[in-house]
Every structure is written in C-alpha cells, then in structure tokens.
A and B are shown apart, each in its own frame.
Chain A
C-alpha cells in the first residue's frame, strides 16, 4: 500500500505575514484553546455573568423609588455604593479560578510537551512568544475583571439621576473601574503565567501558584495585620482591594485588607507583574538559546 498522497501540490508564492506580527497568531490560538472546552473558560465566564447580573440587580433595586421608600434610611444607597466594589472582589475570585484552569499552566504545558521546539524551529522570537501568550491571557482575563465592572459602571451611570450633577457624580466610577479592572487584569494574566514558567510540569505549576496565592497570601496578610506592616500587600487580592477601597472609599468594606496601604498595594502589584513577565521572558529566552529541547 502506498502512503504517498498528493492533492495537487503547488509551491506557495504569495506574500507571508511579517515576523513582527506573528505574535497575533499566538494570541488567536490562546483564545481558541480557551474557548474549545467548557471547563477552561466558558464555565468561568458564566460565573462572571452571574456576578454581573446579581450586582446589576442590586444596583437596579437600590435605585428603585419604592425600595428606597421601603428600605431603612441609607441602606438602598449603601447597596448602590458597595455593589461595584463587592462585585470586583468576586471578579478577582473568578479570575483566580481562570488562572487555575488556564493561565497558570500555559508555559509549563509548553515546556512539558516540547512546544518550544515547535515554536522556535520557526521564525518566532522569544519576545513574540511572551507577547502572544501574555496578550492572549490579558484578553481572556479582561472579559472577567474588566468587562464586568465596566458594564456595572455603565449601569450605574444609566441609573443615576437625570440631572447633570448626578451624572457628574457617577461618571468617575467608570474611570475607577477601568483603573482597578486594568490592574486586576494585569495581575491575573501575568502572575499565574510567571508561575507557569517556574517548573516544566503543569500540575506542579498550578500547585505552586495556588499555594502562593492562598497559603503564602494568607500568611502575609496575617503577619501584616498582627504587626501593622505592609507585608499584607503580598496577598494579591488584598493589594487590589487596597486600591479599590481607596478609590471607592466604602467604609463598610474595611476589614483586614484595610491594613494594606495603597502605596504598598500598588508596589506589590507592580512588582508581581514585572517579576512574572521577566520570569517568562527568561525561561523562554533560555530555552531558545539552548537550541530548544523537546518534551521533558
């Protein structure tokens, strides 16, 4: 039996995509892989949609005249104020779930399966790989941590009074959610990706990330609370909440996280993101310079 088959082969003579734009192919592949199975992204997205509906429902109810008249003084207004900050906390929890199903295993999976050889035997540069993977994760995480909050902010603006003064009061909310959502997106896209570059095994990478996020984070916030030290900012959700609380200035939410100063929160976020991207870059560069190996 001959195995030679041919569908009328002709040499390709058309134009080729420039090398500088090939990272976009990696981004598109990231999105396609994420969308392919229900558990990687769709389930997490469904959770974000539920949070958006619940928070939006609270905001809608709080702005209803009958509820305002029925409710005790200040409670409907308070519901309206806290809906977005509370929803942001939930979006972060959902983004953490997404990191466990997707981002914290990306580079480790590639190392494990020998995909670096697949990439670097072509004219893909390490920087294309890093940008492609990071941008793909940013887009996916942004649909959780940015799109939801922005929708809620838009709803809040829509529910504000008809007068110019109410609108002017509500508009800054949009900027605030862009700032906080943007930071959260960077954190939940880049930091798990950095952890995925630590070890060439997906399970270990996931375990390391989860342990850092949950255990080390809890220890840091506990020590920070006991010693009134900025160490608590090492816990990423607390660092993000420090920014949220400062921007929204919602007293009722203040708890342990309030012990994390804004500056410490911002420094922690920045440092985590920079170190994570650096780690991915270092790992990929090292793999490429060693002449790319196969599967581990």
Chain B
C-alpha cells in the first residue's frame, strides 16, 4: 500500500524566492500535524499536494503524482482552507450539496451526503440558514462539512481552529479526533497551535525554511532523544532525601519541590532503582512517570537545531 504522501526533492520557486527547498518525506498515519513557523512553506506544500501549483521533484498523494494528476487527487482529497471560502446567497446544505456535485457525486447522493456531513459537523439545526449569517465557529463547521461531503480519503485542514472560542475549539478538535475512526479518512492538520497537535495528532511533519526537519510519530518527536530514563517522581514528603539517596546510587536529580523531583537514571538502570531506593529510605512514592518533552518544546528544539 502506498504512503499517504510521498515527497522526493520537492522544490517550489516563486520567481527568485524558493518556498520549498527539496522536501523529502514519507508521511503516514491517521492524523498528521503539519507544523512550522510562518513562511516555512506549509501552505505552499498543501497547494502543491493538491496539484494547484506546479513544482520540481516528486510529490505523490495516495500514490498519484500531484504534478500530473491534480484533478484525480482533488477528487479523493478534501480541503478545508484557512481563509473564508464560501459562496454567497446559499444555505449550508445547498453549499455542501453543490460542493459534492462539483466533486462528481450525482445530485441526489450529493444532497444526502450534504445533510449527513452537516449533521456530522453539528449544524443539523442551522443547515437551512444563509451562510452569511453564521458565526465564525459555524462557518468553520461548514468549511469542514464541504470538505467532507464528497467522501475524501485524506482531509487537508488548514488552521481549522483559527478564530474559534474555547468551546468551539474543543468541539472542532473532537470532530477531528473522531474522524479517522468514523469516516475512515486520514487528516493532515496544518496549524500553529501546538497544543492542538499534541491533543489530536499521531504523526508530525515539521517544516522550517522550506525544508522538512522532522517526519515521524508524535512519540518519536517528543522522545526524539531516545531516552526513557528521565523520570518525574512525586513522594509523600522529603523529596530532597530521596534525591540524595538516588544521587549516591549514580542518578542525577533535580528537586522541584518538597514533594517532587526529576531523576535522570544512570545508563542501564531502570525505574526499579527508584522503588528500591525509596523503600530503603523509608519514603512513600506517590507518582512516577517518564518525562517527555511537550510537542511545543520538541518543536522548538527541532527548529532550533535547524537554525
């Protein structure tokens, strides 16, 4: 089976400006976060993958060549743009049915799926209202529904939570999270909001200055240093005493509070060392977990390394 997206030396130039500089990546997964600072080439990459912009190199989506088979790709891919992209004078259901028909669905099927997509996006009661009167959150939902209506295999979402209030943002993230299971489509989520990525994505592609700087799972990104030996420990009391005992056993410790410390175990040691040391010192462990970077920290590290 082919990768969702495969890029080999993908380069895009706008006159003297090179937006994408030989991007190499094989992307797979259910929800892929496309991350990068402003001007890193995320939007250009999405447009290249949709077959809207010609480029040098190879870019395949679902095994189709984006340079030559753009229309075939767009029939199998849904795109939720960042900017407003609506038609005036139409209700949500008319817009979605129209979108379905433009993507090749028969008229009746398009109308049925428009109702289903809007119902899925949580707009069932408002679907006959003119879109001009919608709030930002409702417009985002319509954009999602119109991208879904033709039954795509991949959904490209460009900043889907932009401009949403916290409640609407939660709803949108919930929709995104459930989509691969419920509708069987993969999602490429382009966003600046790293907490959103942390919450919903299982894979990430980080772009910086027109190049792919990281491709892999979120776990790989967060634990990219390959270490499960950094642990966060909580005790009932006297974290400093546990730190001393662990230091004597060869670990490196940082006391964070009277009841919390971070422990970096020596090579070849396991968390068993902490249990044994605590027992020997008569201290009660309350909590122990492997310390991982947040996506935000990992992102900054990847970008920093690139810089």
Contacts of A291 in B (CB 8 A): 43-44, 47, 52-53
Per-position 1/0 for B68-90, Cβ under 8 A of A: 00111011000101111111111
CB < 8 Å neighbour of B74 from A29, A114, A121:
A121
CA distance A289 to B54 in the complex (A): 8
Measured between beta carbons, the chain A residues less than 8 angstroms from B53 are 289, 291
B113 at the interface (CB under 8 A from A): yes
Instruction: Check B85–A115 contact: CB distance below 8 A.
Output: yes
Contact among B86, B89, B105 with A12 in the assembled complex (CB-CB below 8 Å): B105
Q: CB < 8 Å: which of A14, A116, A125 contacts B109?
A: A14
The verdict on A113 contacting B103 (CB below 8 Å), with A4-B175, A121-B79 known, is no
Contact A4 B116 (CB under 8 A): no
In chain A, positions 2-26 with a C-beta closer than 8 Å to chain B are: 2-7, 9, 11-12, 14-19, 22, 25-26
Q: Given B71, B84, B178, which contacts A294 in the complex, CB threshold below 8 Å?
A: B84
How far is B82's CA from A24's CA once the two chains are assembled, in angstroms?
A: 28
The chain A residue sitting closest to B146, CB to CB, is: A118
B83 with A117: CB separation less than 8 A: yes
Interface size class of B (residues with CB under 8 A): 35 or more
Residues of chain B contacted by A18 (CB below 8 angstroms) = 104
- B183 touching A9, Cβ below 8 Å: yes
Please tell me if A33 contacts chain B, counting CB pairs below 8 Å: yes
Contacting residues, chain A, for B269 (C-beta < 8 A): none
Chain A residues with CB below 8 A from B85, complex form: 113-118, 121, 294-295
A115 to B146, CA, bound (A): 12
Cβ of B184 under 8 Å from chain A: yes
CB neighbors of A among B55-113 (8 A) = 70-72, 74-75, 79, 81-90, 94, 98-99, 101-106, 109, 113
Q: How far is the CA of A197 from the CA of B73 in the complex (A)?
A: 28
Q: Which of B87, B104, B122 contacts A3 (CB 8 A)?
A: B122
The reply to whether B103 and A123 contact each other, CB–CB distance below 8 Å, is: yes
The distance in angstroms between the C-alpha atoms of A19 and B75, with both chains bound, is 10
* A264–B88 alpha-carbon span in the complex (Å): 39
Q: Tell me the chain A residues, 243-295 only, with Cβ under 8 Å from chain B.
A: 288-289, 291-295
Interface residue from B71, B84, B151, B182 paired with A6 (Cβ < 8 Å): B182
- Which B residues touch A32, using CB under 8 A? 94
Residues of A within 8 A of B121 (CB): 3
CB distance from A133 to the nearest CB of B (A): 12
Interface presence of A122 (CB below 8 A): yes
Closest to A10 in B: B151
Residue from B87, B109, B184 with most neighbouring chain A CB atoms (10 Å): B87
Q: What are the residues of chain B within 8 A of A196 when measuring CB–CB?
A: none
> CB < 8 Å: which of A114, A288, A289 contacts B84?
A114
Residues of B with C-beta under 8 A to A19 = 71, 104
B244 within 8 A of A: no
Complex Cα–Cα for A17 and B104 (A): 4
Q: Tell me whether A113 and B87 are in contact in the complex, defined as CB-CB below 8 angstroms, given that A3-B175, A19-B104, A29-B98 are known contacts.
A: yes
With an 8 A cutoff between CB atoms, is A178 at the interface? no
A6 to B113, CA, bound (A): 11
B292 at interface (Cβ–Cβ under 8 A)? no
- Complex interface: chain B residues within 8 A of A2 (CB): 174
Given contacts A25-B102, A121-B79, A125-B71, contact A292 B52 (CB under 8 A): yes
CA distance A141 to B174 in the complex (A): 48
B99 is contacted by which of A3, A5, A113, A118 (Cβ under 8 Å)?
A: A118
CB distance from A111 to the nearest CB of B (A): 11
Q: Is A124 on the interface with B (CB-CB < 8 A)?
A: yes
B43 — which chain A residues lie within 8 A by C-beta? 291
25 contacts between A and B (CB under 8 A): A5-B119, A6-B120, A6-B182, A9-B116, A9-B183, A11-B184, A12-B109, A17-B101, A18-B104, A22-B102, A37-B89, A109-B88, A113-B86, A113-B87, A115-B85, A116-B85, A117-B79, A119-B102, A289-B53, A291-B44, A291-B52, A292-B52, A294-B82, A294-B85, A295-B86
| Interfacial residues, chain B to chain A (CB-CB below 8 A) | 43-44, 47, 50, 52-53, 70-72, 74-75, 79, 81-90, 94, 98-99, 101-106, 109, 113, 115-116, 119-122, 124, 146-147, 150-151, 171, 174-175, 178, 182-184
Q: Which 8 A-B pairs have the closest CB atoms?
A: A294-B83, A16-B104, A123-B71, A117-B85, A291-B47, A114-B85, A121-B79, A295-B84
